[in-house]
Copies of this chain bind each other. A is one copy, B any other.
């Protein structure tokens, strides 16, 4: 990092204190009982520089379910397995401008989901993985990308989600009827739901962000974990589609490629410079960590991290 460790630590702590003020504006997701159990005042942020040095503040080691951030990991795997052309023959690259679980746009359009970060697109991505990788393989892949061997499946969350996934099943059967999904619907839904139910921490996400910032290289071993093309594609889609239907505004105001999950996580990539992980289950009305935007905007302004920094 351009600033020394101590300065960085202060900046991160200041960001946390600014974020805490936002918490009362947010609400914990309650569409499944397990998510509703989260502490609304939990908040943590972890910034990891290219040398692996981490600056942390708050609840950076509290485990929480990764939810939609797993869509990044599954997209990485599908791109590694099949390449960009094959993946995007079934899923688009366009922001949808609508809510993450929309069925309408799916049926009005060609049937090809708008992008891999809405549910329809992500389930399609899983359908391209199930015949090639087991959940155990995907878990190992996640641990590797997050430099975190402690990542596990949260069974309570998984069971809770499986009991309430009728809408996702509807989406999957619609995709099947349109020949977008050509493999097994049940297995695709199961893998999708398991991936959403992985327990991570803000620190795991910061590590993953750094791997993406470094173009797919593990900063510890120097080993390539992902192809450069995969990472370039993923970062761009994180920028255009990562924050649900608030992606455009976040890109303008913060300008850091980021993917959110309703479990409260944020995965941010400052290209070539750092990875940032956030945990804060109090969400804004679009499903993004309410404190996260303020914290990331503070860092962007303070450290010049906006994509089009003047």
Point out residues on A near B: beta carbons under 8 Å.
88, 92-98, 102-105, 107-108, 114-115, 166-167, 169-174, 176-177, 185, 215, 228-229, 231-233, 235-237, 239-241, 245-249, 251-252, 255, 257, 271, 306-310
Q: Is the beta-carbon distance between B215 and A236 smaller than 8 angstroms?
A: no
Output the least CB separation between A193 and chain B (Å).
14
Q: Is the beta-carbon distance between A166 and B177 smaller than 8 angstroms?
A: yes
Output the least CB separation between A155 and chain B (Å).
23
Q: Is the beta-carbon distance between A248 and B241 smaller than 8 angstroms?
A: yes
Once the chains are docked, how many angstroms separate the CA of A250 from the CA of B247?
17
Q: Is the beta-carbon distance between B232 and A240 smaller than 8 angstroms?
A: no
Q: Is the beta-carbon distance between A252 and B231 smaller than 8 angstroms?
A: no
Q: Is the beta-carbon distance between A308 and B271 smaller than 8 angstroms?
A: yes
Q: Is the beta-carbon distance between A248 and B310 smaller than 8 angstroms?
A: no
Q: Which listed residue (B166, B235, B237) contacts A174, Cβ 8 A?
A: B166
Q: Which listed residue (B102, B185, B248, B307) contacts A307, Cβ 8 A?
A: B307
- Report chain B residues within 8 Å CB of A105: 97
Output the least CB separation between A85 and chain B (Å).
11
Once the chains are docked, how many angstroms separate the CA of A252 from the CA of B174?
27
Q: Is the beta-carbon distance between B166 and A170 smaller than 8 angstroms?
A: no
- Report chain B residues within 8 Å CB of A231: 308, 310
- Report chain B residues within 8 Å CB of A98: 97
- Write 25 A-B pairs (CB below 8 A) sorted by A numbering: A88-B249, A92-B248, A94-B97, A94-B246, A94-B249, A95-B95, A97-B97, A103-B104, A115-B248, A166-B176, A166-B177, A166-B185, A169-B169, A169-B173, A170-B177, A228-B310, A231-B310, A232-B310, A235-B308, A236-B252, A236-B308, A237-B248, A239-B307, A240-B248, A241-B248
Q: Which of the listed residues A104, A236, A306 has the most CB atoms from chain B within 10 Å of its own CB?
A: A236
Given contacts A104-B108, A177-B167, contact A93 B232 (CB under 8 A): no
Output the least CB separation between A190 and chain B (Å).
15
Once the chains are docked, how many angstroms separate the CA of A98 from the CA of B92?
13
Once the chains are docked, how many angstroms separate the CA of A93 from the CA of B174?
25
- Report chain B residues within 8 Å CB of A97: 94-98, 105, 114
- Report chain B residues within 8 Å CB of A102: 107
CB-nearest residue of chain B to A108: B104
CB-nearest residue of chain B to A84: B252
Q: Which 6 pairs, one residue from A and one from B, show the smallest C-beta to C-beta distance?
A: A95-B95, A166-B177, A170-B173, A228-B310, A170-B174, A94-B248
